[in-house]
Structure 1
């Protein structure tokens, strides 16, 4: 039986749309199925609406600081019911842009769910479609903890659509989702309690960085309950009562932010023979599954769940399969950011990861200082910069920052690390003055103490 399409893509998000368009650019006949809004998690329930909320949450502090710079004091309150429609309008605009781009690329769009019948055949709505190659890019969904009463909690998908702003919000989980929403909601005026099982947040990040973010959050008034587990959630007449290992308290909303899981349960992967490992689709370095003509990219393979990574994986797949340009992406120097208050960003190895790989050859250059911006305010806000180096080769292994504009600051360093920058290269670089980033080029001495939990140099 002949194939109707050279490529059929399941999922219209950060991986599916770039993969479809890139393949079509090479002349492939491509179709894509998406039953939900185009753009996937990033556009509809993730990066974009979250960053808009980050912007909104930062104005209160800016208004307070403006008075220290001579502006007359401003009395202002955040209006949840005004912000949400504005946010939704921007999301709808982006949805339409994605649809227009698919149409311009000649990709056929099916607004239905797709599932496998056999390795080459898909059920798409009420149609049966055969394709020579198939790309799975279905993303992931929030994974809720198994707690009695968890049905009363919301996930990160739900928080963008709450009818009313919570007065007191409890957040379960100290990963980047929980931390970012703790800072967002606090900045918007909500009382926030963040409950974590460990002694610190962001445990997958460099330890000095996570401590700096945690200290900054607490200084702003966010309550962080460490070594705390939620045992039950009960709906009462006064709100949601949380029973924890340390006692109980009542809030009017609970956000469960305890991770995400690949969206693969209803794809019929077993009928196609696609192998699943640890709850995710197993792929090789070329995004190929256990079935040679079926590929998968993005969060459903659970490699590094970032929007730019899914885009890069999808384009590399299309280049390899349709552009006669085999290639694979490198995961070694991918920058990432935590849009918290204070903001944090990292590229390369944390100190702990570097020591596991290189042992005592690792040395760290670290400084903490008060940025010039805060010199006219009563804020004791600090910025932390850290460089991890292999002392034997002088190679920079990781660069980390906590403070305003940390993400913008570290973006360019990803290129430098990928090109093999050394500490000597940093020392020879002339910085922009006055700026916080120039401090990366003035770290002339390093702390001899090995291991974690040291206090950064104070400047």
Structure 2
């Protein structure tokens, strides 16, 4: 039986960060992955999604400017766009595996625990006192009649031909982002959700702006509606709901994501879990002292995002290599949905601030700036949340909301006052940063 200093189960952003840091040491490391090396984000998640968003943004901005100097709007050739996307991303799993293999042993296959410090892969057993689980999440699949006819976001991101009508089950950020892309490409889109509104993680007032913009572009929302099944017909499918039947050509199950732990046999290693994933302590250690977990597979309140996973990978390296003994402390985290308009936030949430007297809020309409006027962005709204003189949170909806929040992140994270910021920085004018420096804080 081979023994290693570290065994990493998974090779996504969290494990990849950790493996790169371990490559600079003399540690003997095994990296195991039963899926694509590199994980969800670079292969069938955030990176190919943002690649497609580039073409989407051009199309939707040109539509927004039609009659204001732009006479012919841009259009998407889906097959060419997808071919370009595949040309860029198809080689990444093997390239990632080759990079890891330069420094560590690798094995393609699904790992499961045999005991507290032993895993088995492809019939081979390996042992370590530092096993790190980084298997991420996978799409949740609704157990409904006809679920074999539904697809996942992974399928959509490699969809060879654009369907005429696409129906999404669920209204989270995955559904809203993909609906934006497919709608811009020319598909009719329906979003069905059992909740009263989509994008529940973001402020309701700003979500409404996004929803209304999408509805103006023809996206249909069926809220407070439960899907009961999908059946095939001669041409396409019927989505059966408690409010009636929806004819469609392609059905995407975007009902959520769940921790990817089913194959691990965690009970053999006495590892505790809950609905959110693997339970860890302040050092990312599981209930088994030989096993740690990082990335989206763990149960935590922080957003399950690629930069957060990478942060945990770096922290765990520093902790296990005795460069720190401190508990993990998460920085200010920005998050966004790349719809059009975008929606983004960081720090204290808007709803929390409105219910707590220690916070003060300031709301601004951004459509009057020259930048917004030139792009005909009529949707921009900004909420600043203060705790005394310090900016504690921000939420934005608008064509460049993600960039806007990134401008505010240093102010929130470093806890500088408005006066300190203005004394230290003069931002580029007139650009996105003007929303920070133009007397707003």
Tell me the TM-score normalized by structure 1.
Answer: 0.88
Q: Given the superposition, is the C-alpha separation of residues 438 and 204 from structure 1 closer, same or farther in structure 2, using an over 3 Å criterion?
A: same
**Would you say the 8 A contact 1:136–1:296 is kept in 2?**
yes
| 8 Å Cα contact 1:282/1:289 also seen in 2 | yes
- What displacement does 1:68 show? 5.0
CA distance in 2, matches of 1:130, 1:354: 49
Instruction: Tell whether 2:324 aligns with 1:320.
Output: no
Which of these residues, 97, 106, 109, is aligned with residue 112 of structure 1?
109
- Aligned mates of 1:191, 1:9 — CA distance in 2: 43
**Is residue 364–residue 381 contact of structure 2 (8 Å, CA) maintained in 1?**
yes
Alignment equivalent of 1:89, drawn from 71, 87, 99: 87
Say whether the 8 Å CA contact 1:427–1:444 is kept in structure 2: no
Aligned equivalent of 1:4: 3
1:121-162 Cα offsets, whole Å, 9 max, x none, are: 111213211122100101111112233322211111221233
Distance 2:27 2:421 in 1: 45
- TM-aligned CA deviation for residue 211 of structure 1: 2.0
Aligned residues: 437
Distance 2:61 2:189 in 1: 20
1:402 counterpart residue number: 397
CA gap 1:302/1:185 in 2 versus in 1, 3 angstroms: farther
Q: 1:167 Cα deviation (Å)?
A: 0.8
Determine the C-alpha separation between the residues in 1 that align with 2:19 and 2:315. 12
Cα deviation code 1:52-109 (max 9, x no counterpart) = 11112223234446765656636x64332222232122113433442343234x1111
Asked whether the equivalents of residues 68 and 376 of structure 1 are also in contact (C-alpha less than 8 Å), the reply is no
Q: Deviations over 1:229-269 (max 9, x none)?
A: 22222211132112223322201111111111111111121
2:430 corresponding residue in structure 1: 434
Q: 1:235 aligns with which of 200, 209, 232?
A: 232
Counterpart of 1:214? 211
Go from structure 1 to structure 2 and tell me whether the alpha carbon gap of 1:72 and 1:261 turns closer, same or farther (over 3 Å shift): closer
Q: Specify the alignment match of 2:260 in structure 1.
A: 263
SS of 1:284's partner is coil
Q: Secondary structure at the match of 1:132?
A: coil
- Aligned partner of residue 161 in structure 1, secondary structure: coil
Q: Gaps (5+ residues) in structure 1?
A: 446-459
SS at match of 2:197: coil
Task: Tell me the equivalent position of 1:169.
Answer: 166
- The residue matched to 2:332 in structure 1 has which SS? coil
Which of residues 297, 300, 309 in structure 1 aligns to 2:297? 300
Change (3 A) 1:6 1:183: same
Give the drift of 1:423: 4.9
- The 8 Å contact of residues 274 and 299 in structure 2, kept in 1 or not, is answered as no
Confirm or deny that 1:417 pairs with 2:412. Answer: yes
2:42 matches 1:48: no
The change in CA–CA distance for 1:402 and 1:426 in structure 2 (over 3 A counts) is farther
DSSP 3-state at the match of 1:90? helix
Instruction: Give the whole-Å Cα distance in 1 for the aligned partners of 2:169 and 2:36.
Output: 28
Secondary structure in structure 2 of the residue aligned to 1:129: strand
203-212 vs 133-142, which deviates more?
A: 203-212
Question: Which residue does 2:271 correspond to in 1?
Answer: 274
CA distance, structure 2, for counterparts of residue 336 and residue 376 of structure 1: 26
- Helix, strand or coil: the match of 1:291? coil
1:61 counterpart residue number = 60
The residue matched to 1:387 in structure 2 has which SS? strand
Give the direction of change, closer, same or farther, for the CA distance of 1:374–1:133 in structure 2 (3 Å limit): closer
Change (3 A) 1:220 1:368: farther
| 1:425 CA displacement | 4.9
- In structure 2, the gaps of 5 or more residues are none
Partner of 1:448: none
